[in-house]
A and B are shown apart, each in its own frame.
Chain A
Amino acid sequence: MDLQTTIYLVVGASFALYIGIAIWSRAGSTSEYYAAGGGVHPVLNGMATAADWMSAASFISMAGLISNMGYGGGLFLMGWTGGYVLLACLLAPYLRKFGKFTVPQFIGDRFYSKSASTVAVLCLLVASLTYIIGQMTGVGVAFSRFLGVSSDMGIYVGMAIVFTYAVFGGMKGITYTQVAQYIVLIFAYVIPAIFISIALTGVPIPQLGLGANINGTDVSLLARLDQVITDLGFGKYTTTTAGSTLNMFVYTMSLMIGTAGLPHVIMRFFTVPNVAAARSSAGWALVFIAILYTTAPAVAAMARLNLHGTVNNAVGVQSDPAGGLKIDPAKVKANADPFAPEASLKYEERPDWMKRWEKTGLLKFEDKNGDGRIQYYNDKTKNEAAKAKFEAAGWKGNELTVNADIIVLANPEIALLPNWVIALVAAGGLAAALSTAAGLLMAISAAISHDLVKGVFAPNISERGELLAGKIAMACSIVVAGYLGLNPPGFAAGTVALAFGIAASSLFPAIMMGIFSKKMNKEGAMAGMLAGLFVTLFYVFAHKGIFFIKGTEYLNLIGGANSFFGITPEAFGAVGAVVNFIVAFVVDKMTKEPPEHIQHMVENVRIPRGSKAVDGAHAH
């Protein structure tokens, strides 16, 4: 069977599965619609959370980023997993005990203020919408690459699929489809990694393979990679930081508290039966996430070595035209000369996978010195010794540009894996994008129907009316998300910073103070949220333009790029959070205490017993 037919079959079967599950798990009540009835087993909830959390960016882009960044890429690995520790012990159990459906409702009730709840809705909408644009464009790209339809058509198909199971199934439908999507995406990620780890190191577990020796030698894979890329003028793989150590520190912190503050992640903890289950469910979520997140660094490093080996035969690791990877232990051990003229790959002899990816424009070759061979190195290095070697070899500049997103998608092709594996990767990428889009849509529609319609405009709405409002809000959100995916506002790439920045600087501190401080009042909480939000927006917009409009950057006003101790705008959420805490504390001290019944409510939220009986949420 040819590749295209196999892809249609595998992707089609996975879609049939998701829709089948959605029909089986239709939501009938608001409790089922918003919280899946509150009876989801912690292990299943962990899988659903993992699928919800791991987006197209985690599946497709993260390994590529790590591959380019080396050690510094660890900030994504630690940041996006460490947040679950904060969720498990600071937020999830208490929000579950509180027993309502949404984050803005907690903030509104705890700070006895509709304005506080409205600010939270606003933060939630901005964070979720910016995030969803990326997911929808990801769906479009994945469809067009693998199904051979246009990117726009891909987005329409994606919208229709999400519509089916999100609108009718609500949180219940989404939860069970996400479990299925998790299984698809994790197999798609891990199977190619296992094949490649075996080919390079003989170790079938990629996490161990990354620390092992290259097949047939006593040279460790990481040591060889360090050697190869420093020879070629790149920074050492195992030590290159992302900016300064301070920036890496703050960036990691921002991702951690941003993760813990993102509403679509928090919402997943309203679906478990009780407080104890909320605690362990965060652990299960992290177990399932970690399967991908500990495989990613292995994929990253191995792909980098494969790529260099493919274009420079002195590395000793080559794509074998007959299939798989060929290791030359003598070259690995002898540290052969990468500058020898015959070491660079002849362009005419490039492997098939390079030809295929050249067509997509994600891989480009330009023969700058006219020798018909590919020289792939860092021509911008500051290392004079390396520069001298490039010149002596007659190299006239780097000739190969590789888009980082290729790393995961092309990995199975580089190692010449069977067609069904390539088809599985296609289905996995789509599963990752669709599951996250569905989770985000759920958070958006709940905020609109539950917090705005029921909470502010029509408090007396019936359950049936609220359910209808939720479904209409969901349908509208899908149309908006689809529109934004079709017409991405040009800033899609920069907006993840904003989503995390907002979650980190406004929502996380507000929820945390609501639980851990009995005396925090509405004035303090709102001043804190607004201050954290403003400072973060101010710094991000200074770098990327006001509302990301090109030409409106005001870097001079803040004293140049990354002027605040060299911290990049992506990493600024943690600083915003600190501002939030400080402002909230000061304002709280100057205004009067929260009413008695609110202080009792906080005491009550801290005690697990009775989480099953909280009114309105989990009728069993």
Chain B
Amino acid sequence: MQYKHDAQGYWKATLGLITKVLVIWFLVSFGAGILFADLLNGIHLGGYPLGFWFAHQGSIYVFIALIFWYAKKMGDIDREFDVHED
């Protein structure tokens, strides 16, 4: 694999990933859990109204998945730009 020694490229890739993470973070909590909760409450997930579920359960599950996904993707970017450790 061709390593790219490119600090600017690395930082650009990092910011791109962080932006994606923050967009999802915002959509599930502030979006689904607060701004659109009333709309989503019309849909039911078992006994849960969906907006309520996002505020009380769903956003937390997404946050966890999000952090591990971010950690894995960052690991990939680190290796691609040859700045990883070990």
Contacts and interface: CB of A to CB of B under 8 A. Distances in A.
Chain B residues touching A, majority SS: helix
A207 B47 contact: no
Interface in B54-86: 55-57, 59-61, 63-64, 66-68, 70-71, 74-75, 78, 83-86
B74 A297 contact: no
Interface in A78-102: 78, 81-82, 84-86, 88-90, 93
Given A71-B55, A211-B46, A283 B67 contact: yes
Contact of B63 (A90, A212, A253, A286): A286
Interface residues of B, number: 44
Nearest to B56: A297
A77 B70 contact: no
B18 interface: yes
Contacts of B59: 77-78, 81-82
Contacts of B74: 93, 276, 279
A248 interface: yes
Contact of A77 (B18, B30, B56): B56
Contact of B21 (A89, A275, A606): A89
Given A223-B47, A238-B49, A239-B41, A81 B60 contact: yes
B60 A294 contact: yes
A249 interface: yes
Given A297-B57, A608-B78, A279 B46 contact: no
Nearest to A275: B85
Which has the most chain A C-beta neighbours within 10 Å: B63, B66, B83?
Answer: B63
Contacts of B56: 66, 71, 73-74, 77, 210, 297
B34 A212 contact: no
Nearest to A87: B67
A222 B47 contact: yes
A458 interface: no
A75 B53 CA distance: 13
> A-side binding surface: helix, strand, loop or mixed?
helix
B68 A213 contact: no
A529 B68 CA distance: 31
B35 A212 contact: no
Which of B47, B56, B83, B86 gathers most chain A CB within 10 Å?
B56
A609 B67 contact: no
Contacts of B75: 276
Contacts of B11: 606
A151 B55 CA distance: 36
Contacts of A286: 60, 63-64, 67
A276 B84 contact: yes
B7 interface: yes
B45 interface: yes
Contacts of A177: none
A245 B53 CA distance: 17
A603 interface: yes
10 contacts: A78-B60, A88-B70, A89-B17, A89-B67, A93-B74, A221-B47, A222-B48, A248-B34, A290-B61, A294-B61
Interface of B: 7, 10-11, 14, 17-18, 21-22, 25, 29-30, 33-35, 37-38, 41, 45-49, 52-53, 55-57, 59-61, 63-64, 66-68, 70-71, 74-75, 78, 83-86
Interface of A: 66, 71, 73-75, 77-78, 81-82, 84-86, 88-90, 93, 207-208, 210-213, 220-223, 238-239, 245, 248-249, 252-253, 256, 274-276, 279-280, 282-283, 286-287, 290, 293-294, 297, 603, 606-612
Given A77-B59, A221-B47, A612-B85, 5 more contacts: A84-B67, A220-B47, A245-B35, A276-B75, A606-B7
